[in-house]
Structure 1
């Protein structure tokens, strides 16, 4: 009985520790400016020599410039992540500017490594996310200028400009590299294609319809 209790306790500790580490690790120094040219590969990016660090490593300009929304979705993401700001490396945060043409969308997607918090600067957006199985509950909210909304890590979510004028938002992430999985591209635009009979069964339709949808995505 004692051994069983100890095993159960150790298993609990292992589980709680793994949950605690399920995010960007805490930094162990003042900063670790990313050195993208370093050939060493690891979970993150190797630090630049601190003696070579400059103010520009922590700086990005241009977020006041509207993004080009002349695309099929009518929206544009302008990132301020580790690629644009190397000094974000190991700090566990990043952000982006979102621009929306009138009546446009950011299609359903997930961020596998980050929670997202959105602040609407101009316009009106309909936003929402879907909870996990089996509930699959849709939680939505109409946002106006100055409103804030949170999208929990890993959940499918979307943004839609429901007004006849442009909208602008700033989004922040709890990771230096939140990642993005757009649902339509992952399902219908994979390389190579997911077999049509699998998707037809999943979406309760026929393979010809699936093949037609897949043909619309660039390879």
Structure 2
């Protein structure tokens, strides 16, 4: 809770993964990948409840053992083409009927594929959203290459890219939004959304085996 506002952290962890099967439970520096995201959610003081929406019994068991609320995601919301916003809507409906229910002022979406984001990142993003009365906050990081390496290509000709010093990429590590607004807009990067700026090493979004290995190396230092 932050200034009386209730905050829900939701971790989407469906079983299927086309590019990296079983990634949510794959050992990452000795622990299941999703465990690091549970650390970040459970360690942020602003978070009132942590829920995991999943169709994977093994993920559900791990989440429950860590003290998170488990939401059984139906098959029609767990396919490769399923929308995360449909999963969010389902999770909020289920939670409203249970002991964790009630009104949520903020929803924090934390994908298991960003294990290097910290509890301080989660806390900071929520605090920023609340302090600035923003509709949403989105985690961003610098691009892989500095602005000096970027060029604009027109008709095959390389030219200057212009002013890219402030260029950032949405890293997928943290999304904070107001439930009613985000379900209506079905996006977090709405007009007026603020950026939670993170260093590149904490903004990894793992989607392939190569990215998995690289992120492990970054964590090990």
Q: What TM-score does the superposition give when structure 1 sets the normalisation length?
A: 0.23
**Relative contact order higher in (CA < 8 Å, ≥ 6 apart):** 2
Greater helix content:
2
Higher-Rg structure is 1
Give the structure-2-normalised TM-score: 0.23
